[in-house]
Structure 1
């Protein structure tokens, strides 16, 4: 079908036989989360059914490995999309990011997939992270109306910020704190207007996230549509959750950051209802990731489950980085289309 995140690829599976690798990774994550929810509500039969589907999906998704990255999908006739054998759209970022974020693939393959993003999609000279490359233009592929955009504009090989944020999240998930923060700053609109020359190139508001940034040779680094993108919320959550490591989990919260190794420390002041949490994170060994110890009001506490109460008081949380990082359960978030 054509129910993919990238609605511009509306002819990839319009006959009902095409497949979206990204949607497979996303479904893998969603079913895993729902299995946990069902189990917590006593519905073990449904939980096991969903976990069975997760296992089958993981096996099928393994077949989409193209040699250096994951394919984006398949047309109705079985022709791959996002493959090295394609002339255009050889690689698409969201299949690589969600291979990591879904937890569906071994870490070694996730690392290689994100390496491919670094090599083919990160354009530091114009401060963009491309959605796909090369853009659609003259090949025989008919992916849909995405090809109506000029090459390097919007979904057709420009930066689609929604997807670029997922790439940052995936890098943080893999522990690459220095690079994840670097790309986070690349996506921050204020950094596209620090000089008159930057502002002239970007040509849109520096105080809101742009849904897209052009990579077309005539307009490299020019901002596109603003004010309406779901990428703004994702960028906020990436900074707070993926990088600074603060995640609320029901009646508790976790602190598990992924930061630049050079950061000596940082602090978060969090208001929860009537209550104030003052959180400091020290990094004496200059690591990107790994929590050695945590305290809540002077008492040792599990950094993965810090009690969360709304008692109107002020609570002091101290975290020290230094231990080898623990494996994390995949963090899956509902997708909002931009």
Structure 2
């Protein structure tokens, strides 16, 4: 078929699943960049070309006009999985760039952009149209699981913030995958009555690789912070050196 020759879900999940051949998974993401990422329009299309005249009926997806919603528009779940695939591969530069492309705030940086987007720039849209004269127009908002995926990808894979349990004790782990140009970042995490002020430093301008972690000035070789609900304010410093 000349329609739907590439689909972002399959391309991204070749990496996310961990089951794809690394070389072919890399080629899959390169194809997404070439055929589905439309930076000038601020979107990542789900598939291309859209379904239109093919003889075999692919189902309800063909009920949408070509370039709208799942039929060749941006399906934001899949767009975020593309971002996730880059972060899993350790490419914080491209991962962050593409996250910024689909960030709703980026669609309302000036009046013309806001008028084109038409929906709230503070809520993730389930889809973005990819066909003229509606290219760049947001679709459903306030009713999409892609909002939670946006939060999850940004927090757990870009910032690298996770809470896990070890032998019944909650610990904070940090494994950022950020743009090399970031000198670092800061965050505050409240755990019960305690506060953990985290400073991440990136002196070598790397994407990933935590080399050192200190808690209240003391080195923590395990590179993770045991959390205590003790009413205190704790200082955590994470140093990235790559490798």
Equivalent in 122, 125, 139 of residue 210 of structure 1: 125
Question: 1:108-138: CA deviations, max 9, x gaps?
Answer: 2322221111111100010101111111001
Q: Which residue is 2:239 aligned to?
A: 320
Q: Which residue is 1:238 aligned to?
A: 153
Cα distance change on mapping 1:293 and 1:304 into 2, 3 Å: closer
- Secondary structure class of the residue paired with 1:226: coil
1:274 Cα deviation after fit: 1.6
Is residue 2:205 matched to residue 1:286? yes
CA distance in 1, matches of 2:147, 2:21: 30
RMSD: 1.4
Cα distance change on mapping 1:132 and 1:284 into 2, 3 Å: same
TM-score (norm. length: structure 1): 0.68
TM-score (norm. length: structure 2): 0.94
Is residue 2:182 matched to residue 1:263? yes
- Whichever structure has more strand as a proportion of its residues is 2
Is residue 2:229 matched to residue 1:310? yes
**Structure 1 segments unaligned to the other structure (5+ residues):** 1-85, 325-338
Is residue 2:150 matched to residue 1:150? no
**Structure 2 segments unaligned to the other structure (5+ residues):** none
Deviation beyond 4 Å, 4+ runs, structure 1: none
CA distance in 1, matches of 2:89, 2:231: 37
Question: 1:242-297: CA deviations, max 9, x gaps?
Answer: 11111111222211111110111110111122221111111111111111211122
Q: Which residue is 1:198 aligned to?
A: 113
Equivalent in 31, 41, 50 of residue 126 of structure 1: 41
Higher RCO (CA-CA < 8 Å; seq separation 6+): 2
- Secondary structure class of the residue paired with 2:237: strand
